[in-house]
Amino acid sequence: MTDLLEGWRTATLAEVTTVSKKQDPTETGRAQVRYLEISGIDAATHRVVSADPTSSSSAPSRCRQVLRSGDTVFSTVRPYLERIAYVDDDLDDEFASTGFCVLRPTPVLDPRFLFFFAISPMMLDQVLPMQKGVSYPAVLDKEVRTCAIPVPPLDEQRRIVAILEDHLTHLDAAESVLRQTQVKLDVLEASLLEHVFIETKHPLVSLANVLDGIEAGKSVGSTAGPAQDGEWGVIKVSAMTYGEFRLSENKAIPASLADPKYQIRQGDLLVSRANTEALVGASVMVRHPPNMLLLSDKSLRLRVKPEISTEWLWRVLQAPSTRAQMSSMATGTKDSMRNISQVALRGLLVPSVNQAFQQDALDKYEVVGRSLISERERVDLCRQRASSLSRSLLAAAFRGDLTAGWRAGRRECAGPELSVAPATLDVSDRGGTP
């Protein structure tokens, strides 16, 4: 961090924040306390979406960090490094998981200035290289606190906060509309799948009637990253979770452990045997050659009969009523990991239709499906642009660009910097956008 502006200085977070004290929840004198887990923060909005209440006597031992209004909680566990939130009055005197680094500002920092710095590219660029570990890469609290932060005078910090809140409020509103649009597209697709593939007035038969068999994968322990060219990999549950087969969601394994009979092939229909209650039984069709990837013990390959279209059956499995059947059949005591057996899967009820009907259903779906894909791509592009604008704005803020006119003495009203839309910020030559 060079070429500091007049009145600015550089400090480490350790120098300008204090450490949250540790306390045993049983010593609070309250029957119940709330504690914040990493999953309780929405990474997209940086808002707390849940803080679980529990009796103080049974609070998890990992929750000892006391929160105060004005703190910033920063997740230290990858892939959740962007689970960052500002603590408001609602969480004052509650507890946080040790998966967070709690940043509590000293009087030299405006609390919101610290929060905006924590979500800025300047902070993330420093934290990413600090990760250690293979299975669960993480960053140590003490390393997070070595990050450098620019410290302008307090009045300028507050000016920066005001400008950021003004612009980011508009970007947040746009993001909210885009999320609502995404939900509506998901609802439309679910309705389309149900109408075209399920509501057929044809008799129902068990899934076993349309299959030649089900093949299970094999457990191959690995903590490695994704397989590189020429390496074998075993797929993770996340490869089958999102409606499309994700080639990169795998773990590399030694060639000596690779059994070709479990190799995934183009055209395969895969089902997730284990996942959350909402996602157990999620299915994907492998549309592109997956090279050297293998089924895992949490994945199943459905071998369909010759007269059954693999894509037609995949769409049937995606329909809401079929998904509801799978959820009801799943077993397990934890919502975070439910299982569906091959026996239960074979008992799923699906329409009994001929090849002509299957193709007609696929053709009807394709007509609307192309429009859905197009609209989703437009929404994704808009969300990417909004995210890029947000990063650019934050990067400009901590370079001092947003308050250049203010420092020059132009303090009238909002100042010219407030009239500059984030889209006009030029950060291409300053490393503002990762």
pLDDT digits (tens, 9 = 90+) for 182-229: 999 999 999 999 999 998 889 999 999 999 999 998 887 766 778 888
Q: Side-chain half-sphere of 381: how many Cα atoms within 13 Å?
A: 6
Through-space distance between the first and last CA atoms of the chain, rounded to whole angstroms? 16
pLDDT band at 416 (very low <50, low <70, confident <90, very high): very low
Region 255-283: mean pLDDT is 88
Mean per-residue pLDDT of the chain: 85
CA distance 308 to 400: 63
Q: What totals of helices (H) and strands (E) does the chain contain, helices first? A: 10, 24
Same domain, 215 and 343: yes
Domain harbouring 217, CATH code? 3.90.220.20
The total number of residues written for the chain in this structure: 434
- Among 350, 366, 385, where does a domain finish? 350
pLDDT in tens, 302-353: 999 999 999 999 999 999 999 999 888 888 766 667 888 899 999 999 999 9
pLDDT band at 358 (very low <50, low <70, confident <90, very high): very high
Region 378-404: mean pLDDT is 92
Same domain, 333 and 399: no
Same domain, 210 and 346: yes
Same domain, 345 and 373: no
Return the pLDDT at 141.
84
Q: How many structural domains is the chain composed of?
A: 3
- Among 327, 350, 373, where does a domain finish? 350
Coil/strand/helix, residue 186: helix
In degrees and rounded to multiples of 5, residue 36 shows phi and psi of -105, 120
* Prior bond of 79 cis (ω within 30°): yes
pLDDT in tens, 142-151: 889 999 999 9
- Among 135, 151, 167, where does a domain finish? 151
pLDDT at residue 361 tops 80:
yes
The bridge status of strand 47-48 relative to strand 41-42 is antiparallel
Same domain, 116 and 225: no
pLDDT at residue 384 tops 50:
yes
pLDDT at residue 1 tops 70:
no
Same domain, 302 and 314: yes
Nearest Cα to Cα of residue 50 among 35, 70, 62 = 35
Same domain, 381 and 320: no
**Which alpha helices (H) appear in 128-225, and where do they start and end?**
141-144, 154-193
Same domain, 82 and 176: no
Domain that holds residue 418: 153-202+353-434
Return the pLDDT at 421.
42
